[in-house]
Structures are given as structure tokens and as C-alpha cells.
Amino acid sequence: MQTKAQQLCDWYDICDEHDLVSNSGVCALIGEQQIAIFTVDWQERRQLYALSNGDPVGKANVMYRGIIGSVDAKPVVASPLYKEHYCLATGQCLENEDLALQVFAVELNAGKVRVAL
Amino acid sequence: MTTNNSAIRVVVVGNGMVGHHFVENLIKSGQPVHITVLSGEPRLAYDRVHLSSWFTGSRAEDLALTDELTYEQWGINYVLNAKVENIDRARKSVSTHQYTYDYDVLVLATGSYAYVPPIAGSYQPHCLVYRTIEDLQTIEHSATQSKVGVVVGGGLLGLEAANALKQAGLKTHVVEFAAQLMAVQLDEGAGTLLREKIEALGVTVHTQKATQVIESGQQCRYRMVFADDSFLETDMILFSAGIRPCDQLGREAGLAVGERGGIIINNQCQTNDPDIYAIGECALWENRTYGLVAPGYTMARTAVASISNKVLDFVGADMSTKLKLMGVEVGSIGDAHAKTAGAQCYTYQSQPQGVYKKLIVDAAHSKVLGAVLVGDTSDYDTLLQYCLNDMPLPKKPETLILPSSDEKPALGAEALPTTATICSCHNVAKSDIVEAIDNGCASLDEIKTCTKASSGCGGCSALLKNVVDSELEHRGVAVSKALCEHFDHTRQELFHLVKVEKIRSFDALIARHGTGLGCDICRPTVGSILASVWNDYVLNTRNVSLQDTNDTYLGNMQKDGTYSIVPRVPGGEITPAGLIVIGEVAQKFNLYTKITGGQRIDLFGARVDQLLDIWQILVSAGFETGHAYAKALRTVKSCVGSTWCRYGVQDSVGQAIALEHRYKGLRAPHKIKFAVSGCTRECAEAQSKDIGIIATENGWNLYVCGNGGMKPRHGDLFATDLSTDTLVKYIDRILMFYIKTADRLQRTSVWMDNLEGGLAYLQSVVIEDTLGINSELEVQMQRIVGAYQCEWKTTLASQDAKKRFRQFVNSKRADTNIQFVDERGQIRPATELEKALGQARIPVELV
Ligand code: SRM
Ligand SMILES: Cc1cc2nc3c(=O)[nH]c(=O)nc-3n(C[C@H](O)[C@H](O)[C@H](O)COP(=O)(O)OP(=O)(O)OC[C@H]3O[C@@H](n4cnc5c(N)ncnc54)[C@H](O)[C@@H]3O)c2cc1C
Ligand code: SF4
Ligand code: FES
């Protein structure tokens, strides 16, 4: 995942790959920022996504505990509180176009998980 | 009274079901009329057919067929409590004790009254009848002061009344003059079987008993003495010995009446005074009265046509009936007693399954004349259509009633002629349904609203659904049953696939039968199915991603992202030492403590990183998870029962604890709640539970499919006076059958309401084993019971699982957004404002 912002940011080591849970999420703390990291294993491929952990509707830091799924073949996470769906790739809320999670760059490098802020 | 000059003045006496149907149709006809409705009851028309639902919680509003606003909008002058006392045919007016009303056309829709045989002592305070809402209120009141009840009359209504007494908790008897039950509709074989079934449900039936006198009793309020000198003691008596037409008004006004009552009408429903019509149960046509609503509705439409100068003859009506009496299915079609000359019968009887079917055909074997069905009415719709439409018989007519023989001709909705009547109450033919669909109706509900089909006696609902489905399918409207976009299957189908193909993971199932990644609908559904079938640990790595957050963290997530903790307290019984441990945990972790509605204690405000420490203490002290987070058994509430209570007749606490231990951990389509009460006072509120058990002198009464919550439903009495062994066996089977067949997130109450055949069907599956699956259901339940594990205990022992109970993978800090303030001496989540103002307190010790 190469984004434009990527070169301007700092990369942080978060955890080992085996700390991740398949088709589920964990949460990283970087400074005071909480970042949900989702591991999607699908069709023999592993893809990581990093998004802000705050639930914009429930106002609690719980997004990493949501259920992963797909809507029209696009990976999404459902808020564990009120079940809104957010697109993992763009952060966009599918039920309310005014809401979105922030998206961060994340990568798997030699068994280490790294996130860029 | 002033009226619009051009409009004729129509006065309708009686606002029962038929009177109302007349008014509604007359309004719809667009005729310029001025209508006056004089109702003898304190309310406008209501659904008498479903009167008995009063005892399962319907109120007057639910039964109402119309309301005052509607009548006002229709411009109708209606008067309640207006009993008409006199008709003056010369002046063309009727009068109540207060007013006189002039008519151009008079319609008598006075119905019937319940006949009370001339028995000495039959007019006493607790000798009642069953006809109006007021009657039911009186019965209800009398039942609270009675232990034993007798229904006089073993016909259709009598048995319905007996059911009501039974549900009110009375020891119930039916006393019948004839040699069998429902002698009008059933032949002897069917009557005998019906009796067996009804007695099995705990109602005692006495046939060939003629009551001589009702005197005061010794054990009970009354004693009924019969012609053969035997007697029966009871606290209340309900007369259901037939109905008689309310023809008094007509009789006194010199209208022609029949020898045995009923106002004589012609094919236009006119009496011998052409300005006076009689419709419904008070009318006599070709020497017959009709005690059903459908013929009355037809008369109402006939009278409207006649008043509008249209021609529509009343030509008699079909008296076939299908009903469920105390959960026993009964059907009677056409010439049930084979009285037609040359009629020939086929009979099928299965004693083990409690099924009796008789088919009556004409001498030429060319058409169905009638049929009688007890125990299984699944062939009713087909047979009725054969009978009503004179459809040619298959080569071997008996195949129509034999159980699932390959040759049984499937009379699909398609095979019906377009003229076939689907709903006789509202006279809706197949062609009307086709027309409604052509005019844009696209669902069963819309068709019901638009044609009114199925809103009368309800007997046609299954057939209507078939016709609608088949017509919609014809037009390429797919009736989708898919769970979500990832699976084209229902929950029930997925359950079968998992079991038959021995699938143990979501990934395997979706790879084989679904598409995509799944979602928050199918993942937890499949997670629950896997747990129901295999009872594997829900947090096995391969199952984790399926669970709702509540299941993943084995607690209920609260609004601020913290969790609640509910240790299991079986039956609500807890030792002082146990209470102290819970108190200490709450104090140590500063948790909000509350007694729940389920007789246990909930600790709120635990952060995800505190859960392991908290449960470590609880598990060490012997507590288990309470599954408050799971679609699983929640609690078995109990009352104190015979151990302490002066009224208790069984050990309800002991029973509750035993049942809670047996079914704890059982995953299901939705949560399941039980309760056990020690006597009929019902302090544990068992009738509002999925499984409710009430102790009796002789064992346990089992109620099923009750619900509190959003749409409360009283449980149905499933079986009475069970031994503990039988009780457990029945519960095993019922729950496993529910788990196998219910939809996702469908409580047992909704499941039951959607179960074709309802309570009777469930009874036949569970008690009579009609599907032959009981041993399989029991084995499955035993496997799950045997595989029980406390998920918290397993979690505490698993390093892998433990890793997940933290807010951050890369830090031991707590989530600083979780903040509390003090309220009534305990914590509560801080509001956003309190957080912004810095008024909130962060629990210090763990940050
Ligand atoms: C804690 C408790 C209220 C209390 O303070 O007393 C409670 C709390 C919740 N109930 Fe309840 N219910 C509680 C007793 C009840 C009862 C009474 C009973 O069980 O006797 C009922 C009505 C009886 C019934 O279910 O038939 C009840 C009917 C509901 C319903 C409506 C269900 C329905 O079929 O209509 C829901 C919503 C649902 O399940 O979809 C619900 C859902 C909930 C949830 C899970 C809502 C949620 O997702 O946050 C609440 C969270 C519990 C928690 O965080 O621990 N709760 N809830 C009670 C826990 C009992 C226990 O010990 O397990
Ligand atoms: C418990 C029960 C269950 C039933 N189940 C079924 C069933 O499953 N299927 C079925 O088809 N039928 C069933 N029936 C029968 C059905 O309810 C009747 O056929 C139908 O209600 C008849 O309608 P009606 O308008 O002729 O009479 P009613 O509904 O009896 O209405 C007559 C009205 O006229 C009023 N009235 C009488 N005299 C006067 C007067 N002088 N002045 C003013 N008002 C007067 C009465 O107070 C009453 O309100 C059942 C009946 C009962 C009681
Ligand atoms: S239900 Fe019966 S046994 Fe239980 S407490 Fe009430 S009165 Fe006592
Ligand atoms: S036949 Fe009575 S509602 Fe349709």
C-alpha cells in the first residue's frame, strides 16, 4: 500500500505478525493515537488495514473489536456498538456518507507489523 | 331525524361480525344511503371468531373489527348499548327504550345467543356462557375463584371454551349429552380419537351425560347430578350447548320464523316483509341456519346487492371447518357423515401417530363428497378444493389421504381453476388474487390488505400463501430466503450442511457454499451453528473472527466500550460466601453493581484489560460464566418452592438448578430463558419464558415459547403432570428441534408463531415422534451437554486466547477515554461534557 503521504510520515514498529488474529483486529497505541489494525485473509492472500480506532457514532475506542466482512466484495468492518459498516480501504462509512474513519499506511516487513503516521 | 332526501334510510339492528360486514360493503357500494347502526353491545363490532385469544392476551382493541372514528368518517349514525325492543312495521320504525328510528330498509343482524338448557339450578352466579367480551371478563373473574370448571357441550365451541378454562389453570371437564365429541362435524372414529387426544391433555370428557340438576356441592361450589345418578363437583359451569337465533324481534313483529327458530329469508335475504332483511346467524334459509361467519358474510353481500338493485343470490354455503382444538387438528368437509345415497368411504387410521382420516366419494367415484380429519389436517386444503370444485378424482382416490405415498397427486396452487374460492370468508377467488398481483401487489401482506383474504376465520392462510407464492414465482419474482449476500441459504439449510458435511469452520463452509468474506450477519450465525453442532470452544483461533464482540470478550460491551460481568448463579441461589466474593471483586475493580432482572448480579464498567484478572478470582471461587453475552441459555429463574414456601408443591429451586446445569452453554439461534415455579401462583413468572415449568401435585406442567421483551407472549401449555425424566426428555427435544429449525435471531416465541401447524405440530414431533427424529435429537443434546466447558475457565488456561484481552498490542496502558463519575456511591460512565470539563475521574490504579 503506497500512499502519497507515506514518504512524509514516520513508520512505527507495532508488533510481530503472530500477534495478529486472522480476519480480526488488534489495536496499537502511538503517542496518544489509537489505531485499529485489521488482518484480512482472503483467497490465499493476507492484507492489512490500519484505521482510527474511535467509533464516530458510539464515541468509544472499540473499532478493532468489530467483525470483518465484505459488502459487494469490498472488505469492511462493522462497529461492535451500533453495527455501522466502514470500508477498510477508504474508511468511508457505508450507512452515513458524512462519517469516515481515518486511514493509515500499514505494512508487513520481515514478520514485523509497521504503521505510518 | 333529518336525512338527505335522495338517500334511503337503512337501519341495521346488531353490530356483530355480519352486521359490520354489511355496513362496510354498503359504504363501499357507493349507494346514497343514510345508515343507522344500533348495537346491543357496549362496543362496535369485534372478531368473535378469535374471541378465545382473549385468554392468551388479546384485548378488546386487538379484537376490534372497526372503530368509532371509521364509522364517523363513513357518516354512520351509530348508537352503542342500544337494544332494539320493538319493530313497528306499519310506521316503518324501530325503537329502543330511549328513541325511535325510522327506516326505509331494515336489516336484522342480531346473531344468536348461547342456549342454556332448562336445568334446575342453571341460573347461578358461576354458571356462565361464552359469546361476548363481557362473558369472557366474567369467566376470567370466576376462574380466579375456582379450581374446577365444567363445560357443558362437547361441540366445537365447547372444546374451545374447555381450552380456555384449562389455560386459566382449572381442572377441566367436558360434559356431553351425545355419545361422542363434535357429533355434527365428526364421525364416530374421529370423535373417539379426538376424545383420546383431549383427555391426554388433561381434560376429562364425560359423554352420554344429561345434567338433571345443579345443586350446592361438598368439595366444590356446585354439584351436577346426571340422569344416571352419577355426579360431578365443580366451582364453575360454562354452557356451550348450542346457539339459538335471536329472532324474538322478528317473531313479535309478525315476520315468518322457522319451527326451530330463525327468521325466514329468500335468496335475496329478504324476510316476508320485502323492506326487512335478515342476515347472519339470526336468519333461516331453506330451513337452515348457519353458525359460521363465512355464510353470514355472503348474506351481507347479498343484501347489499339487493338494496342496490343488483342481483346476487344467496345459494347456501359450505360448512366445512378446519380448526385446532387444544392443539389437536380437526377438519370436517362437506358430507362428513356420508349421508348422500351411494356414498362410499375410505378410512385411514394410525393409532401410534394419533391420526384419523376419512374420505367420502360419490357412487361413481368421480368426486369428493366430504372428509373427516383428526390429528393431521395437512390434506384439508387439497380435499376441500376437490370437493368445492368437483375436480375429477385420481385413479386411486385413497392416495388423497394416505401418508406421503409417491402417488399422492400434488394439488399445487397451479392446478386450481381460476374460479376456485381461496378464502370463503371474504369470497376471494384465485382470479381475484391474480388480479391483485396484476395490479401491483407484490407480497403476501399486500395481497391480504388489498383482497382481505385470510382476515376472517384464518383457515385459508396456508392455501393463500401457496397461491401467492406460485403466482409470484410465475412472474419471476424471486422469493429470496438468503441469509445475506454471502450465502444463498437459510439458517436452517446451513445447519444441515454443517451437520451432514461435518464442517467445523466458517472458512470451509464459505469456501464450499458461499462467496466473499462473510459479514456481521453470517459470521455470528455460522459461529452459533458450529457451537450448537460441535460445542467447540468459541474462542478457538478458527472461530474467533466469527463472534460478535460480546462472544469474543465473553462479556457484554457497554456504551463506553467497557464490559459487564455476569457470573452464573444457577436458579438464583447463592451462598453468603459467594456473595462476598462478588462484592470483593466489585470493590477491588471499582465496578458498578446491580441485581439483574434474571436473578443474578451484574458488574459493569470492566475494561477489556481487566477481564482476565476479574474472572481469575471468580473462577477460583467456583463461579462459571453466565453466558449473559451469548445467544445461549441465560438463566433459569426460580421461586423458593416447597422447601420454604407454605404453598409450594415441588422443589422448584432444585429443579431450576438441575436444568440450568444441564443446558448451560447450549448455543441457539437466540437467547433462551427458563423459569420454574413451585405452584400455580407462578412467582417465577414461568409463563413468560421460552421454557416455563410450573409444579403441580403430580409433577410438572411444561409451558413453551413464552417471551417477555418487546412483544410479550404467554407460553403455550405443552404437557401436564410430567415426571422429571419426561420433562427433561421433552425439553431436550424441543430445544434441539428449535436449534435445528429456527431462523437466526428468532426467539422461540416467534419460531412457534411461524411454525406451520403450531403447538400441535410441535407436540406431535416431540411427544408422538411423528418425524421419527427424537432419538437423534436426544443424542445430539447429550453430546452437547457432555461437551460443556466454562468458557472463562478455558480462556484463562489458554495463552493464545489471553493475548487478546488487552486494549493495545504494543502497550500495557489503559484506554484513557474510559472515565467515570460518582453516582449514588458507585461509578457511572462520564458524559462527553464531563470529560471535556475534566470532571471525570480515571480509575488510577491501573493506568
Ligand atoms: C442486565 C439486564 C437488565 C437488568 O439490569 O436487570 C439486561 C440487560 C440487557 N438486555 Fe435484557 N437484560 C436483563 C433481563 C431481561 C429480561 C428479564 C428476564 O430475563 O427475566 C428480559 C425480558 C424477558 C425475555 O427475554 O423474554 C429482557 C429482554 C431483552 C431483550 C428483548 C428480547 C425480546 O425477545 O424481545 C433484549 C434485546 C435482544 O435480545 O435482542 C435484551 C438485551 C439486553 C442487553 C444484552 C442489550 C445490549 O446488547 O446491551 C443488555 C445488556 C446486558 C449486560 O450488559 O449485561 N434484553 N432482558 C438483565 C440481565 C438478566 C440476566 O441475569 O441475564
Ligand atoms: C367463541 C366462538 C368461536 C367461534 N369460532 C368460529 C370459527 O372458528 N369459524 C366461524 O366461521 N365462526 C365461528 N364462530 C361463529 C361466528 O362468530 C358467528 O358466526 C358470527 O359472529 C355471526 O355473526 P352475526 O353478526 O350474525 O352475529 P353476532 O356476531 O352474534 O352479532 C349479533 C349482534 O347483534 C346484537 N343484538 C342482538 N339482538 C339485538 C337487539 N335486539 N338490538 C340490538 N342489537 C342486538 C348482539 O348483541 C350482537 O352484538 C365462533 C363464535 C364464538 C362465540
Ligand atoms: S410460586 Fe408457589 S412455591 Fe413459589 S413462592 Fe410462589 S407461592 Fe411459593
Ligand atoms: S376462509 Fe376464513 S379467512 Fe379465508
Min distance B537 CA to chain A CA atoms (Å):
16
Q: Which has more pLDDT, A36 or B50? A: A36
* Residue B499: band (very low, low, confident or very high) from pLDDT cuts 50, 70, 90: confident
Contact B226, B209 (CB under 8 A): yes
Give the per-residue pLDDT at B443. 78
The pLDDT tens digits of the residues spanning B192-224 come to 999 998 998 889 999 999 999 999 999 999 999
Q: How would residue B479 be classed by pLDDT, with cut points 50, 70 and 90?
A: low
Contact B212, B204 (CB under 8 A): no
* Structural domains for chain B: 8-113+245-307 (3.50.50.60), 116-241 (3.50.50.60), 415-479 (1.10.10.1100), 491-547 (no CATH), 549-629 (3.90.480.10), 631-791 (3.30.413.10), 807-847 (no CATH)
CB atoms within 10 A of CB B97: 9
pLDDT at B225: 95
Q: Show residues of chain B in contact with A23, CB under 8 Å.
A: 517, 545
Name every residue whose Cβ is closer than 8 Å to that of residue B587 and which is 6 or more positions away in sequence.
Answer: none
DSSP for B638-653, written as a single string: E--GGGT-SS--S-HH
Burial class from Cβ neighbours inside 10 Å (0-12, 13-18, 19+) for residue B842 reads: middle
User: In sequence order, which residues have a C-beta less than 8 Å from that of residue B109 and are 6 or more positions away?
Assistant: B12, B13, B14, B15, B16, B18, B19, B22, B278, B279, B280, B282, B300
Report the percentage of chain B scoring pLDDT > 70: 96
Residue type, B222: Y
* Ligand 4 proximity of B424 Cβ (cutoff 6 Å): yes
pLDDT of residue B477: 66
Please indicate whether, in this complex, the C-beta atoms of B517 and A23 are within 8 angstroms of each other: yes
A73–B519 CB contact, under 8 Å: no
A3 to chain B, closest Cα gap in Å: 24
Contact check, Cβ <8 Å, B545/A62: no
Q: How confident is the model at residue B846 (pLDDT cuts 50, 70, 90)?
A: very low
Q: pLDDT value at position B407?
A: 47
- Using CB atoms within 10 A of its CB, is residue A14 exposed (0-12), middle (13-18) or buried (19+)? buried
Share of chain A above pLDDT 70, in %: 93
Mean pLDDT over B595-605 rounds to: 96
pLDDT of residue B416: 79
Q: Is the pLDDT of residue B541 over 80?
A: no
Low-confidence winner among A55-64, B64-73, B369-378, B387-396 (lowest mean pLDDT): B387-396
The pLDDT assigned to B322 comes to 84
- Residue B540 contacts A, CB cutoff 8 Å: no
* Closest CA in chain A for residue B524: A67
* CB-nearest partner of B544 from A21, A29, A61: A21
- Is 80 exceeded by the pLDDT of residue B798? yes
Summarize pLDDT for B254-280 with one digit per residue, the tens. Answer: 999 999 999 999 999 999 999 999 999
Q: How far apart are CA A9 and CA B501, in angstroms?
A: 50
Ligand 3 centroid, distance to B694 Cα (angstroms): 10
pLDDT at A96: 87
Measuring CA to CA, which residue among B427, B428, B431 is closest to residue B417? Answer: B431
pLDDT at A4 over 50: no
Q: Are strands B691-696 and B672-677 parallel, antiparallel or unpaired?
A: parallel
Question: Do A27 and B553 make contact, defined as CB atoms within 8 angstroms?
Answer: no
| H or E segment and range at residue B423 | strand B421-423
Q: pLDDT tens digit string along B384-443? A: 888 888 888 888 888 888 876 544 455 567 777 888 888 888 888 898 998 888 888 877
Average pLDDT along chain B = 89
Per-residue confidence (pLDDT) for residue B405, from 0 to 100: 53
CB B6 within 8 A of CB B49: no
| Band (B542; pLDDT cuts 50, 70, 90) | low
- Preferred mutation among B807, B813, B816, B820 to probe A, highest tally of A CBs within 10 A: B807
Which residues are CB-neighbours of A96 under 8 A, at least 6 positions away? A84
* Sheet of B211-216, strand order: B211-216, B222-226, B231-234
Q: Is the CB of B567 under 6 A from ligand 4?
A: no
Q: How far is CA B205 from the centre of its chain?
A: 25
Q: Does the C-beta of B808 come closer than 6 Å to ligand 3?
A: no
What contacts A17, CB < 8 A, 6 or more positions away? A108, A111, A112, A113
Residue B2 pLDDT greater than 80, yes or no: no
B449 — pLDDT class (breaks 50, 70, 90): confident
In chain A, residues with a C-beta closer than 8 Å to the C-beta of B809 are 14-15, 19, 26-28, 37
Is A71 in contact with B559 (Cβ distance < 8 A)? no
> From CA B576, how far away is CA B349, in angstroms rounded?
60
SS3 content of chain B, % helix, strand, coil (to 5): 35, 20, 45
pLDDT score recorded for residue A8: 64
